[in-house]
């Protein structure tokens, strides 16, 4: 019986030792840190941490079309009568040109040089505009990052940012 038990344990160890490591690519992970207004109240500052297991973050300058025009997607919200309303993109009418202007909040995170297969971890600030003509005194943002393989991160939501 002892031989059988030892053989069973040895077989189980051999089976697990031969198991291939799972190298399934994972999407980036974002963690919200804080949000505030600039001292002159002209823009918001959003601070967040990022982690990417396979380290393929950022776009090169020549990667600027189609799905790679932006890689940090930002949605802008205003609090009106106690409820959040998505307000991005902001569309305004330019009476001088008789055309509509559209303001989007999406950004391009520049290419981050990295050894192949190495994970990336860091913290960054992004400077974001808001609608200066809003009737709301409170805003927030939602952010999502795509890596070069177009895998989408989780969505983070900022804390409330008081404008007045």
Where do the domains of the chain lie, and which CATH numbers do they carry? 25-162 (2.60.40)
What does the pLDDT read at residue 105?
84
DSSP symbols for 72-133: EEEEEEEEETTEEEE--SEEEEETTTTEEEEE---B-PBP----TT--EEEEEEEEE---TT
Overall average pLDDT of the 43-55 stretch: 95
d(C-alpha 45, C-alpha 38), whole Å: 7
Quote the pTM value: 0.77
Q: Which residue has the higher pLDDT, 51 or 18?
A: 51
What does the pLDDT read at residue 11?
45
């Amino acid at each position: 019986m002892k031989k059988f038990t030892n053989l069973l344990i040895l077989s189980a160890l051999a089976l697990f030792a031969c198991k291939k490591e799972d190298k399934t690519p994972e999407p980036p992970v974002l963690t919200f840190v804080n949000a505030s207004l600039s001292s002159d109240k002209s823009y918001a500052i959003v601070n967040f941490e990022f982690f990417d297991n396979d380290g393929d973050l950022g776009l090169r300058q020549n990667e600027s079309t189609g799905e790679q025009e932006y890689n940090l997607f930002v949605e802008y919200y205003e609090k009106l009568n106690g409820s959040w309303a998505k307000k991005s993109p902001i569309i305004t009418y330019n009476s001088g040109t008789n055309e509509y202007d559209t303001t989007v909040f999406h950004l391009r995170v520049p290419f981050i040089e990295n050894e192949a297969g190495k994970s990336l971890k860091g913290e960054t600030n992004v400077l974001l505009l808001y609608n200066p003509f809003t009737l709301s005194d409170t805003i927030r943002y939602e952010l999502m990052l795509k890596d070069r393989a177009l895998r989408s991160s989780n969505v983070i939501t900022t804390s409330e940012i008081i404008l007045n």
